[in-house]
Chains A and B, each alone.
Chain A
Amino acid sequence: MNTPKEYPFIPVLVDGIRIPFLKSGTNYYNLMAYDLGRMAIQGLLVRSDLALESIDRVIMGNVIQEVRTSNVARESALGAGIPNTVPAFTTSMACISSNQAITSGVDLIRSGQAKIILAAGTETMSDIPVRFKKKFRQNVLAARKYKSPIEFLKVFKGLGVKDFLPELPAIAEFSTGETMGQSADRMSARFGASRKDQDEFAMRSHHLAAKATNEGLLDQEIITAKIPPKFNIVEHDNGFRDDTTLEKLGKLRPAFVKPHGTITAGNASFLTDGASACFIMEEQTALSLGLTPKAYLREYNYVSQDPGEELLLGPAYATPKVLDSMELTLENIDVFELHEAFAGQVLSVLNALDSDDFAKKSLNRDKKVGLIPMDKLNTLGGSLSLGHPFGATGVRLVTTAANRLQREDGKYALVSACAAGGQGHAIILERYEVK
């Protein structure tokens, strides 16, 4: 039925972990993205007996940059004890930054340039850079040339009270000025995702996350975080709500489009701190090290559309494309892991994929792609409930998908995610059978 493309070197996922994803402003409050990334890398390294100098590259996704650690991959790798002879770079592609980290690794392996890749992602939303207003910034920078103390008074020249107020970054599209919530609200209306549908999907996500946590299904991928200076222990994510109900969700007011919008704080992902890391290796290298891979990393793609109209619709484009590239259909997929930025956004993607109209107009196909069965989708919770540290979500999705393939005895998994800028990504994993 399908013939995977021939590559001389085949990338496999060997292991993946993450520290618990925590709501911003909670336990990771005092840490930098560098610290979180370091903790994740250390957690991954402890689980393997790999000679660290044999790692070819550390690649790390990150969205909101801390200026002191602009190449956060390098700082986290060094801080975690990876030898300084291992190069590291940071990828930035909004919410699919660590997907980009993974696929950059995939490319390096396929082309024979690398055998062992440590792909990771890190994000803190607890300490986003707050800036001075532009005028004040300019004056401060000009002061670097000043010599006498009197001259420094010029720093305040021409500034009003307002110029001293701090400036907070908004999660808004640079090109359109629209916030992501507004955009998702509009998209939900377009694809017929009602408020009730969205609340139900959000509740499902929270309940599944709680169930998976209680049953220990996430233990394989979550390592215990011990947070300095007190070394308090965190073993689980803290954002999901076991006790959430439709009634409670129904009471929330629209967060972005008032008064008739459908997106609320309850059916949107929350600000999260966290980090994740995984090992990707060339198959034979992994085997020769005595490691058992979890999954093959097969075909992948990136897509992009109009950041105004279809900001978060990427998965609806990326999914059929990646299936086609492997001559698969939705029926062949046993495990779906879709990033949940907003419940309305996931439902819009699902509805778009199941629409002949969308298929004809936007995908240039005769018929719809099909319906993604809910019993195969995000069964351990998703970004709505587990949390969404922008740069770290991609590695979580791929790791969870691989673990589910193993546990559920499936063959193929599809991972797909949307990102700011109107971009999207999809990748197919194939379960690794021990020969």
Chain B
Amino acid sequence: MSYLDITIKDSVAILTLDKPGEKVNTLDESMMEEFSSFLDKLEKDSELKGAVLISGKENNFIAGADIEMFKARETAEELEQLSKNGHAILNKIETSSKPFVVAIHGSCMGGGLELSLACDYRIATNHSKTMMALPEVKLGVIPGTGGTQRLPRLIGIQKALGYMLTGGNIFAKKAKHIGLVDELIHKDALEEAAIKAVHKLSGSNSFKRKDKRSLVEKVLEGNPVGRSIIFSQAKKKTLVQTKGNYPAPLMILDAVKYGYQKGLQKGLENETRLFGKAGATSESRALVNLFFGITDAKRNPLADNIKPISTIGILGAGLMGSGITDVSINKAGYSVLLKDQTVEAAAKGEQVIWNALNQKVKKRIITPFERDRLSSKVTGTDSYESFEKADVVIEAVFEDLELKQRIVAQVEKATGDHCIFASNTSSLPISEIAKGAKRPENIIGMHYFSPVQKMPLLEIITTPQTADWVTATAYEIGVKQGKTVIVVNDGPGFYTTRILAPYMNEALLLLEEGASIEFLDKIMKKFGYPVGPMALLDEVGMDVGAHVGETMAPVFNARGGKSSTKAKELIDAGYRGRKNTKGMYSYSGKKKEVNAEVYSFFGGTSRTNPDTETAQLRMALMTVNEAAYCLEENILKSPTDGDLGAILGLGFPPFTGGPFRYLDQVGIQSTVDRLNEFTEKFGPRFKPASILTEYAKEGKRFYATD
């Protein structure tokens, strides 16, 4: 079986890309070889006027380079060579005497788009599945087959930088509008249009592409002074966003800038060098591993045990309940019975869904009819009527054990034996909730993160009684809802809440010791968290924070921990966080401002900030050490789950690769040393988990390779 299928139509070679045995095409070495030998033939064959590149896959052109190729190459030199090989072929296409037309339907990502850029003419389908992007930055690398040079020359520097620095998608209409593609056509006429384009390009009338840039863009980008302004502005903005933690965006800027200073040829050569350099960074390695972790997690390990799901009952129509409803209908296509105590409250949940859909209508992403059809999948109710048709019930009610146990009994009465009961608790042990249940084997934890529509993680918690089919089906629901799923064992706070609680506790202790609110947030953002601990406490709500603290305290206190009681005191005084606009920050004004009133609970308004690095590590190592405890106590089944959970659920800095990759990277011994040092200085809560001391002693690591 070969990757390329070559047929001749109308004196045009049609190259159909169809990677054997795969759902999508990815660029790999075998494809490049086949391509290279075709190029030689094309030049020699005088009968052929040109070539069309088209995909044999459904809704996919090329998903990008085969990332497995990265795995096999570790050093910058190896990666640079890989990039050079790609360049050689693309340069051949670009300089070929015969026209190359690329016919794009479906996703056209990374190397796929770079290949398209090297062709003479691009036709795309006006289909919702057709989208283009250079997402390399998300893997900590830079476009490595000419993207940094050809894209800005085609659509303009500023637009190209925007797309390359964010890795954002470009949909068909937009692509045409900015001149990335030359023509749009409906799917079934794509090949025909591409053949015609070859004839047009090989004919006597030479094709001249119109510059689609705005006047301002043309003026600014057309001279070295304007360009240097663009680059310096972009660099400033990038540094603000990355806090210096991610090298790839700056390398992209460098690559583009260099190409404009020294010309295309030198620019291309420089790109291969920078690509190698970026690919060898630990940040890139961590992000690539994260990518593999997420991809693997999309595969249900218990796929044989899945039972069909069509209707979900969701209890509680608040923020959590409506969020779960949203992904259940929009992503998974399930029907939802959304129950709350009153019809009015349930209808508010329906309204949230409708409003979100209506926003899409306003942006012309969907039609009003599509909004109606999707919102019809949710029915708000105040009773368990019709719940006998529910295949799973997910409760998102108050964090109160007795209430949840009562609800288990109600749900068991209202539903059939096949119905799964899932609790969206963030800290209560599932086995406690299942106590007294008639069907404890049907009970499982499905811990979603707020806002559910945006947060990518689902933490599934199983008890020793949970049946395999229940776990398998819950996993499937998560994947259908677009979530990355980890499965952990039951215990107070399971995994994510358990590693978050001591981190937050440490932040509160630092606040008690005199640090300022903005200092703590600033240094943790610098460390790589998307949100600082103080702002996070406001987001989740002081009440939730206090409740988690209370639930978890026994676990930590048993190890000699020191629990801050300040969150509880703050709620009692009426500070609940963003919910009531009063928390660590005040949200009543237009701007979020530090709420100085809060300092009266933490020793007054005069603050003295501690050493930055010590403070950062005191907080971060709390999470890292607790993650190790979770692995040691078998709450976690693998370090990969631990890394995914910390990054996707809590925002642990992605470039580190997660707590376990971080340990491997920094060194387990040095972390143990640091923890011992902290134990002496700040108390026994820093005592390293025994798995860490053991690994350090034996020189073991959590992952075989970086």
Interface residues of A (CB under 8 A from B): 35, 38, 42-43, 46-49, 75, 78-81, 224, 226, 228-233, 235
CB <8 Å contact, B376 and A42 = yes
Question: Within 8 Å of chain A (Cβ to Cβ): is B380?
Answer: yes
CB <8 Å contact, B376 and A49 = no
Q: How many angstroms between the C-alpha atoms of A226 and B340 in the bound complex?
A: 14
Q: How many angstroms between the C-alpha atoms of A43 and B372 in the bound complex?
A: 14
CB <8 Å contact, B351 and A38 = no
Stretch of B80-88, B342-350, B606-614 lying at the A interface: B342-350
Q: How many angstroms between the C-alpha atoms of A274 and B379 in the bound complex?
A: 19
A50 to chain B minimum Cβ distance, whole angstroms, is 9
Would you list the 6 A-B pairs with minimal beta carbon distance, nearest first? Answer: A49-B389, A231-B351, A231-B347, A226-B347, A79-B372, A46-B379
Q: How many angstroms between the C-alpha atoms of A286 and B514 in the bound complex?
A: 72
CB <8 Å contact, A231 and B373 = no
Set A46, A78, A224, A230: member contacting B343, Cβ < 8 A? A224
CB <8 Å contact, B388 and A49 = yes
Further pairs besides A226-B347, A231-B350: 6, Cβ < 8 Å: A46-B379, A49-B311, A79-B372, A228-B375, A229-B358, A232-B347
Interface of B is mostly: helix
Question: Within 8 Å of chain A (Cβ to Cβ): is B30?
Answer: no
**Chain B residue, CB-CB nearest to A223:** B379
Question: Within 8 Å of chain A (Cβ to Cβ): is B377?
Answer: yes
* B residues near A230, Cβ cutoff 8 Å: 351
Q: In which size bucket is the chain B interface?
A: 20 to 34
Question: Within 8 Å of chain A (Cβ to Cβ): is B261?
Answer: no
* B residues near A226, Cβ cutoff 8 Å: 343, 347, 350-351, 380
CB <8 Å contact, A231 and B354 = yes
* A residues near B335, Cβ cutoff 8 Å: 81
A-B contact pairs, 24 of them (CB 8 A): A42-B376, A43-B379, A46-B337, A46-B386, A47-B386, A48-B389, A49-B311, A49-B388, A79-B372, A79-B376, A80-B373, A81-B335, A81-B373, A81-B376, A81-B377, A226-B351, A226-B380, A228-B351, A228-B375, A229-B355, A229-B358, A231-B348, A231-B351, A232-B347
Q: How many angstroms between the C-alpha atoms of A43 and B388 in the bound complex?
A: 16
Known contacts A228-B354, A229-B351, A229-B358; is-contact A38 B376 (Cβ 8 Å): yes
B311 to chain A minimum Cβ distance, whole angstroms, is 8
**Chain A residue, CB-CB nearest to B382:** A224
* B residues near A75, Cβ cutoff 8 Å: 369
CB <8 Å contact, B380 and A79 = no
Chain B window 335-369, contacts with chain A (Cβ cutoff 8 Å), 1 for yes, 0 for no: 10100000110011011001100100000000001
* A residues near B337, Cβ cutoff 8 Å: 46
Q: How many angstroms between the C-alpha atoms of A75 and B373 in the bound complex?
A: 10
Q: Which of A38, A42, A231, A235 has the most C-beta atoms of chain B within 10 angstroms of its own C-beta?
A: A231
* A residues near B388, Cβ cutoff 8 Å: 49
**Chain B residue, CB-CB nearest to A224:** B343
Q: How many angstroms between the C-alpha atoms of A299 and B9 in the bound complex?
A: 66
* B residues near A224, Cβ cutoff 8 Å: 343
* A residues near B372, Cβ cutoff 8 Å: 35, 38, 79
* A residues near B358, Cβ cutoff 8 Å: 229
CB <8 Å contact, A233 and B377 = no
Q: How many angstroms between the C-alpha atoms of A235 and B346 in the bound complex?
A: 14
B552 to chain A minimum Cβ distance, whole angstroms, is 38
CB <8 Å contact, B379 and A42 = yes
CB <8 Å contact, B354 and A229 = yes
Q: How many angstroms between the C-alpha atoms of A373 and B583 in the bound complex?
A: 70
Q: How many angstroms between the C-alpha atoms of A226 and B354 in the bound complex?
A: 11
* B residues near A231, Cβ cutoff 8 Å: 347-348, 350-351, 354, 380
**Chain A residue, CB-CB nearest to B380:** A226
* B residues near A232, Cβ cutoff 8 Å: 347
Q: How many angstroms between the C-alpha atoms of A233 and B354 in the bound complex?
A: 15
Q: How many angstroms between the C-alpha atoms of A430 and B222 in the bound complex?
A: 85
B284 to chain A minimum Cβ distance, whole angstroms, is 45
Q: How many angstroms between the C-alpha atoms of A48 and B385 in the bound complex?
A: 10
A91 to chain B minimum Cβ distance, whole angstroms, is 22
B338 to chain A minimum Cβ distance, whole angstroms, is 11
A39 to chain B minimum Cβ distance, whole angstroms, is 8
CB <8 Å contact, A78 and B373 = yes
* A residues near B377, Cβ cutoff 8 Å: 81
* B residues near A81, Cβ cutoff 8 Å: 335, 373, 376-377
Q: How many angstroms between the C-alpha atoms of A226 and B350 in the bound complex?
A: 9
CB <8 Å contact, B373 and A79 = yes
* B residues near A46, Cβ cutoff 8 Å: 337, 379, 386
A289 to chain B minimum Cβ distance, whole angstroms, is 12
B283 to chain A minimum Cβ distance, whole angstroms, is 45
B298 to chain A minimum Cβ distance, whole angstroms, is 27
**Chain A residue, CB-CB nearest to B349:** A231
Known contacts A49-B388, A226-B350, A230-B351; is-contact A235 B379 (Cβ 8 Å): no
Q: How many angstroms between the C-alpha atoms of A403 and B337 in the bound complex?
A: 25
Q: Which of B369, B376, B377, B385 has the most C-beta atoms of chain A within 10 angstroms of its own C-beta?
A: B376
Q: How many angstroms between the C-alpha atoms of A233 and B386 in the bound complex?
A: 20
**Chain B residue, CB-CB nearest to A75:** B369
A84 to chain B minimum Cβ distance, whole angstroms, is 10
**Chain B residue, CB-CB nearest to A230:** B351
B30 to chain A minimum Cβ distance, whole angstroms, is 42
A122 to chain B minimum Cβ distance, whole angstroms, is 14
**Chain A residue, CB-CB nearest to B346:** A226
Q: How many angstroms between the C-alpha atoms of A78 and B348 in the bound complex?
A: 24
Q: How many angstroms between the C-alpha atoms of A350 and B420 in the bound complex?
A: 56
Q: How many angstroms between the C-alpha atoms of A47 and B358 in the bound complex?
A: 26
* A residues near B354, Cβ cutoff 8 Å: 228-229, 231
Q: How many angstroms between the C-alpha atoms of A80 and B377 in the bound complex?
A: 8
**Chain B residue, CB-CB nearest to A48:** B389
Q: How many angstroms between the C-alpha atoms of A224 and B373 in the bound complex?
A: 19
CB <8 Å contact, B373 and A233 = no
A106 to chain B minimum Cβ distance, whole angstroms, is 27
Set A80, A229, A235: member contacting B376, Cβ < 8 A? A80
* B residues near A229, Cβ cutoff 8 Å: 351, 354-355, 358
Q: How many angstroms between the C-alpha atoms of A25 and B546 in the bound complex?
A: 50
A236 to chain B minimum Cβ distance, whole angstroms, is 12
* B residues near A35, Cβ cutoff 8 Å: 372
* A residues near B376, Cβ cutoff 8 Å: 38, 42, 79-81
Q: How many angstroms between the C-alpha atoms of A231 and B375 in the bound complex?
A: 12
CB <8 Å contact, A233 and B347 = yes
Chain B window 387-404, contacts with chain A (Cβ cutoff 8 Å), 1 for yes, 0 for no: 011000000000000000
A291 to chain B minimum Cβ distance, whole angstroms, is 12
Q: How many angstroms between the C-alpha atoms of A78 and B370 in the bound complex?
A: 9
Q: How many angstroms between the C-alpha atoms of A269 and B311 in the bound complex?
A: 40
B418 to chain A minimum Cβ distance, whole angstroms, is 12
* A residues near B375, Cβ cutoff 8 Å: 228
Q: How many angstroms between the C-alpha atoms of A410 and B459 in the bound complex?
A: 55
B125 to chain A minimum Cβ distance, whole angstroms, is 22
Q: Which of B379, B385, B386 has the most C-beta atoms of chain A within 10 angstroms of its own C-beta?
A: B379
* A residues near B347, Cβ cutoff 8 Å: 226, 231-233
* A residues near B380, Cβ cutoff 8 Å: 226, 231
Q: How many angstroms between the C-alpha atoms of A433 and B280 in the bound complex?
A: 77
Q: How many angstroms between the C-alpha atoms of A301 and B124 in the bound complex?
A: 59
B314 to chain A minimum Cβ distance, whole angstroms, is 14
